[in-house]
């Protein structure tokens, strides 16, 4: 099959695997097709800036050829053998892969990783092909409160493949034209047909929001279920790893791989009958106006779809509770006047996670937070260009003492509050659902539970533009399988995920 025959905006990993198994195509042909799409629209064409780096083409083709030869000789490492993917640029990768690791920051561009992070190494052993590193919010958003989501000095501004004209000037933190939180490149890359699968990380919303904005299926695994060694992040108690895809079947295979399960998740009968679902209301569970404006009837559009979704699930035999009694989490996670997420994250970041990340490299131009701050000042034109000035989050952390005992107490209290709130609802329900443009991931993060996202619809927010939005879903700790089964039932009952019109239009005019 020639590269031009792949419909990369629709092709799933599962479909690609079937083509490979049937000898209808090869991994070499897949890699060439994806590289052509990346070349056409990452820094050219629509200039999506979804990837910070792509591995050298000759290296990727050699890897794909080796995997094709293994398949031809009767050896298939896994169902993901020969399937390309990208990971957020927070996972260290050995120089042999041809990909630097930057966390979006120029100070790490020349750093040489001693190894590949264990979770990525595991996927490579399964026969997957790491095509590139996805763009992200620099340092996962820890630099300045004014950071644009999806922007990094090393990758530029990640753009949504669904939005004509890209990020609007003066856009709010999570406004409609934004691609979403720090794993934005991972989402845009899949939606734009750069790869069928991607890996991201999240504390709160960093996977769910970008996946929702890209019309994808996504799941962030529960706390400490996936090996996070060799990964930039804030806290081992809060940062979690997850995946994004165009289908639930793809996602189930990828999450099984991340969790290193011997057997893939069983998606059941893909039927909604008997599933017990608790819906939060829209009011109070959607981004406030300071984060995202809601012009015209945008809120009404989403509210109507929210209600129609609940009604359809009822008609399909689900037991649906609407406006469930779950307090909004905005003020639930404050203690002694401090935000628990912030205090726990910053303490662990300064004392544990950042030093561990820096120690993954030899050589490295910076060896401490103070040296990172100094590097940024010395290279302001690159690190803090016009429109992206400042690093107050980092400077405030230098030399700021924090009480470890206090952070431990906060973590215990955060876990208690999160688990208590979710357990009350999950006693009588299988899944809690809320609009993905909102704070349900805070509860999941606090309790250490998995959280997922399914595409729901398109909201028209201007004369020219519509953008996707979805539902966020959470269940109890260790219930990734339960979420995937519900997602599969949802996928079978609801319309197909939307495709990005700017790319469809570009393709039509190019043909």
Give the integer Cα–Cα distance in Å for 282 and 294. 13
Which residues are within 8 A (CB) of 245 and not within 5 positions of it... i.e. 6 or more apart?
A: 12, 13, 190, 196, 197, 198, 216, 217, 218, 251, 254
* Digit-coded pLDDT (tens) for 314-329: 999 999 999 999 999 9
Q: How far is CA 225 from CA 77, 216, 228, in A?
A: 23, 22, 9
Average pLDDT over the chain, rounded to an integer? 96
Domains and CATH numbers, the chain: 13-203+252-259 (3.90.1300.10)
Q: Of 41-45, 336-340, 493-497, give the lowest mean pLDDT range.
A: 336-340
* Sheet strands (E) in 425-504: 431-435, 451-460, 466-474
Distance of CA 486 to the CA centre of its chain: 20
* Digit-coded pLDDT (tens) for 22-37: 999 999 999 999 999 9
Give the integer Cα–Cα distance in Å for 447 and 450. 9
Which residues are within 8 A (CB) of 473 and not within 5 positions of it... i.e. 6 or more apart?
A: 431, 432, 433, 451, 452, 453, 454, 483, 486, 487
Phi, psi of 264 (to 5 degrees): -65, 160
Phi, psi of 328 (to 5 degrees): -60, 145
Sign of CA dihedral 452, 313, 13, 9: negative
Q: How many residues does the chain have?
A: 511
The per-residue pLDDT for 147 is: 81
* Cβ atoms 469, 309 nearer than 8 A: no
> pLDDT band at residue 508, thresholds of 50, 70 and 90?
confident
Q: Which of 134, 130, 129, 117 is nearest to 48 (CA)?
A: 134
* Cβ atoms 313, 433 nearer than 8 A: no
Is this structure's pTM higher than 0.85? Answer: yes
User: So which residues are the catalytic ones?
Assistant: 88, 182, 206
> pLDDT band at residue 209, thresholds of 50, 70 and 90?
very high
**DSSP letter (8 states) at residue 141:** G
Mean pLDDT of 487-505: 97
């Amino acid at each position: 099959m020639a590269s031009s025959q792949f419909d990369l905006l629709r092709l799933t990993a599962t479909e690609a695997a079937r083509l490979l198994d049937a000898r209808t195509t090869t991994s070499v042909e897949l890699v060439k097709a994806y590289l052509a799409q990346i070349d056409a629209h990452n820094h050219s064409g629509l200039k999506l800036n979804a990837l910070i780096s792509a591995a050298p083409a000759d290296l990727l083709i050699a890897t794909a050829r080796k995997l094709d030869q293994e398949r031809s000789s009767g050896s298939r490492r896994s169902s993901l053998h020969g399937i390309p993917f990208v990971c957020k640029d927070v996972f260290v990768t050995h120089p042999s892969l041809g990909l630097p690791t930057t966390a979006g920051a120029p100070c790490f561009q020349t750093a040489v990783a001693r190894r590949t992070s264990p979770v990525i190494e595991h996927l490579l052993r399964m026969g997957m092909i790491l095509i590139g590193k996805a763009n992200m919010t620099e340092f996962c958003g820890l630099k300045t409160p004014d950071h644009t989501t999806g922007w990094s000095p090393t990758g530029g501004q990640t753009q949504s493949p669904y939005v004509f004209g890209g990020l609007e000037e003066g856009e709010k933190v999570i406004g409609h034209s934004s691609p979403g939180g720090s794993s934005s490149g991972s989402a845009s890359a899949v939606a734009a047909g750069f790869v069928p699968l991607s890996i991201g990380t999240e504390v709160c919303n960093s996977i769910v929001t970008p996946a929702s904005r890209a019309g994808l299926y996504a799941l962030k695994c529960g706390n400490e279920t996936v090996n996070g060694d060799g990964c930039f992040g804030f806290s081992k108690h809060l940062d979690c790893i997850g995946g994004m895809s165009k289908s639930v079947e793809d996602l189930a295979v990828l999450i099984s791989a991340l969790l290193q399960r011997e057997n893939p998740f069983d998606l059941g009968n893909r039927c909604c009958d008997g599933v017990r679902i608790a819906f939060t209301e829209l009011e109070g569970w959607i981004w406030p106006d300071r984060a995202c404006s809601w012009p015209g009837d945008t809120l009404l559009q989403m509210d109507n779809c929210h209600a129609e979704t609940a009604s359809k699930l009822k008609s399909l035999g689900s037991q649906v509770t609407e406006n469930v009694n779950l307090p909004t989490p905005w003020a639930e996670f404050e203690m002694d006047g401090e935000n628990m997420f912030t205090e726990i994250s910053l303490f662990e970041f300064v004392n544990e996670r950042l030093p561990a990340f820096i120690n993954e490299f030899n050589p490295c131009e910076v060896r401490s937070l103070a040296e990172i701050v100094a590097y940024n000042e010395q290279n302001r034109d690159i690190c803090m260009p016009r429109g992206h000035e400042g690093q107050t989050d980092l400077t405030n952390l230098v030399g700021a003492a924090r009480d470890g005992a206090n952070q431990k107490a906060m973590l215990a209290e955060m876990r208690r509050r999160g688990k208590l709130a979710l357990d009350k609802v999950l006693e009588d329900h299988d899944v809690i659902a809320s609009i993905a443009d909102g704070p349900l991931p805070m509860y999941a993060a606090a309790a250490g539970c998995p959280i997922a996202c399914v595409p729901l619809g398109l909201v028209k927010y201007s004369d020219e533009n519509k953008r996707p939005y979805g539902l966020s879903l959470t269940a109890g700790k260790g219930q990734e399988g339960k979420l995937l089964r519900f997602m599969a039932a949802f996928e079978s009952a609801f319309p197909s995920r939307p495709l990005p019109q700017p790319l469809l239009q570009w393709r039509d005019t190019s043909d």
